[in-house]
Amino acid sequence: MRKKLTYEVVYDECMRRIREGVWKPGERLPSIEELAAELGVGISAVREAVRILSMQQILRVEQGRGTYVHDEIPADRANDHLSFLENASWMQLTEARLIIEPELAAMAAEKATADEAAKIVSNARLMQRKVKNGRDFLKEDMEFHRLVSLASHNDVMVKMIGVIGDLLLDSRRHTMRIPSVNEKAAAYHSLIAGAISKGDAKQARELMRLHIEDMIGELSLTHAEQER
């Protein structure tokens, strides 16, 4: 079993405190520096954990004021929500994506407006530049899937992607540690964006399928190596 990365340890500790009511809805958290000192970890690890939790809408970061537990997550809901995320395996997440996202990409290719397609292409190019320069690209990665869902012009699909947004983020927490996956993901995003821009539903569907199957293959290999 692999050793957890430092930010994952911080993430899990924050989850525990919210689940057990140590940090209550609306409560302000200690500063990043205070948490780092208390947990005996680096500031960057705390920032990464807080960033992920804020994207999951578990924490709320207010510039100049601090970080708060989200008001709309009661303790019982937080417990169910966090427990589900912890119990879902990366394989379950990627298998679910394999079912949903290829068809979503095809729908986007068929229905995207010129403006929507341009935003998807721009997002993919920005992610590719960030990966190439070794910069953080998680925001662009998550935004890509949101933009594709919006371009499908199907409210049910948009809602579904919103619901599994936390799961997508959790999946990317696993894959971002594998450099080859990041480079290929950026390349696939660019190709998928191009297919959507051209209105080629068949190509968009196939590229998204290959993209997710490639991730499953890489993750399976990494998992097998860690179990040796």
d(CA 207, CA 105): 9
Please give the CATH number for the structural domain made up of 6-80: 1.10.10.10
pLDDT at 82: 46
- Find the DSSP H helices in the chain: 6-19, 32-39, 43-55, 75-87, 90-111, 114-132, 138-151, 155-163, 165-175, 179-198, 201-227
Asked if 76 contacts 17 with a C-beta cutoff of 8 angstroms, the reply is no
Taking the C-alpha atoms of residue 171 and residue 169, their distance in angstroms, rounded to an integer, is 5
Average pLDDT value for residue range 67-94: 60
The label of the residue with tokens 């920005």 reads 126
* Ranges of each domain in the chain: 6-80, 89-227
pLDDT at 110: 98
Q: Architecture of domain 89-227 in CATH?
A: Up-down Bundle (1.20)
User: Against a cut of 0.85, is the pTM above it?
Assistant: no
- For residue range 178-224, list pLDDT tens digits in order: 667 788 889 999 999 999 999 999 999 999 999 988 877 876 665 55
Q: Angle 43-55/32-39 helices, nearest 10 degrees?
A: 120
The secondary structure of 184-227, three-state, reads: HHHHHHHHHHHHHHHCCHHHHHHHHHHHHHHHHHHHHHHHHHHH
Instruction: Of 77-81, 117-121, 176-180, 185-189, give the lowest mean pLDDT range.
Output: 77-81
Between helix 165-175 and helix 138-151 the angle, nearest 10°, is 140
State how far the Cα of 79 lies from the Cα of 20, in Å rounded to an integer.
Answer: 8
Dist CA 62 CA 68 (whole Å): 8
